[in-house]
Amino acid sequence: MSTKSTRVLVLTCSTRPGALGPAVGQWLIETITPSAARLGVELVPVALGDLNLPFLNEEEHPSSGVYRHEHTRRWSAIVDAADGFIVVTPEYNYGMPATLKNALDYLSREWAWKPIGFVSYGNTSAGTRSVQHAKQVVTTLRLVPLGATVAIRIGDATENGRLRPDAARDTAGVGLLDELVRVAHALRPMRERARAGALSGPLPGSYARPLTPDDAAEVTVLQRCCWVDEAVVNDTTAIPALHESLQEVRDWLAAWRTTGTWLDGRLLGMVRARRVDTDWHVGRLAVVPDLRGQGLGRWLLRRAEAAAQPDCRRILLYTGAKSQRNIDLYHSEGYQSMPLVGPDGTACLTKGLPVGQR
């Protein structure tokens, strides 16, 4: 679970000249912008009419991710980068407009495990039949529709093609965004597991992915928790991992190649690595206390080793001189202790890289 901002696309579906949709979309954006700032949400307005999507003309099924046309690749990138959607939709003939159905059909995994909320408008039913229709379709794509909704009866709400001010509608719009953000956060672990670059982790249901500066909060918590044991056995609190600020963690996450393993949004362990001259430095190997002894640390260590650049000659790592549990793990993985103990009480261990990996 990273702390990066939540990106919400606001999709205006109608494309007719003189349509009411843009006015509804504009009201929504103006109304929820202050809440979006408070919630760390980036609102991205998108008019489906501006995408120039013809009726679906890709040869392959969208689940293949094979897109021949530039318009599909562009749409895929926009949806992929989003964490959630608010659809501003009219009701056409008791259903959703064809523009929305077409835009949904173009893609597949880009939609998965993201919340979708609806602002509908229409005559007698205020567009709610359009929303019911859309809900059946979006669940097939693993989009998660919200319970919160805004439904606007055109006859009551408009004057000269514009929306009349309505405090209750404003409150409903803000409530929709609020629920969307909460669901987007809750679904983030589901999305991360499915995202490119993530691979299955060593424990059932776990996954591993590169950590970035956006993960600094979780990393800070993990290392403060894990290095307390090191402080106790080595009888010192002069351990950088215990003291680093959020900004310092952010900085090193940008400079090191770090892998984290996750389960349901919880960071279970991590390891970082980088090249220094011809050495491959590995460090900050950490596993949450309740899951130690299950092979997670060994798995992370091997991943860090496997990432060593081909011309590196050896792997170097440091641990507390009295951290016997760590030292035993490293010895069992083929590391040898260097004779000297560092002035800060650390032991250095090294392992030559196999020729094939150099």
Is residue 20 part of the contact set for ligand FMN (CB under 6 A)? Answer: yes
Contact with ligand FMN (CB under 6 A) among 33, 124, 245, 324: 124
C-alpha span between 281 and 274 (Å, rounded): 5
Token look-up 């499915």 returns 194
For the CA atoms of 212, 216, 220, 221, the dihedral, rounded to the nearest 10 degrees, stands at -100
Which residue lies nearer to ligand FMN by CB, 21 or 260?
Answer: 21
Contact with ligand FMN (CB under 6 A) among 9, 10, 11, 21: 21
Helix (H) or strand (E) holding 317: strand 314-320
Contact with ligand FMN (CB under 6 A) among 25, 62, 115, 122: 122
Task: Work out the number of other CB atoms within 10 angstroms of the CB of residue 333.
Answer: 15
Is residue 200 part of the contact set for ligand FMN (CB under 6 A)? Answer: no
CB 12, min distance to ligand FMN, A: 8
Token look-up 């982790």 returns 201
CB 141, min distance to ligand FMN, A: 23
DSSP letter (8 states) at residue 311:
T
Is residue 233 part of the contact set for ligand FMN (CB under 6 A)? Answer: no
Contact with ligand FMN (CB under 6 A) among 1, 19, 198, 316: 19
| Interface region with ligand FMN, contact rule CB under 6 A, candidates 39-47, 116-124, 163-171, 314-322 | 116-124
- What is the gyration radius of the CA atoms in the chain, in angstroms? 26
| Interface region with ligand FMN, contact rule CB under 6 A, candidates 104-112, 118-126, 178-186, 276-284 | 118-126
* Contact in structure between 155 and 123 (CB atoms under 8 Å): yes
Question: Pairing state of beta strands 279-287 and 257-263?
Answer: unpaired
Site for ligand FMN in 78-97 (CB under 6 A): 90-94
C-alpha span between 121 and 150 (Å, rounded): 8
Q: Half-sphere exposure of residue 338, counting CA atoms within 13 Å on the CB side? A: 17
Q: 20 vs 52, 96, 160, 180, CA distance in Å?
A: 19, 15, 10, 24
CB 177, min distance to ligand FMN, A: 21
Contact with ligand FMN (CB under 6 A) among 5, 33, 57, 123: 123
Contact with ligand FMN (CB under 6 A) among 2, 26, 35, 125: 125
Q: How many residues bind ligand FMN (CB under 6 A)?
A: 15
Binding site for ligand FMN (CB under 6 A): 14, 16, 19-21, 90-94, 122-125, 154
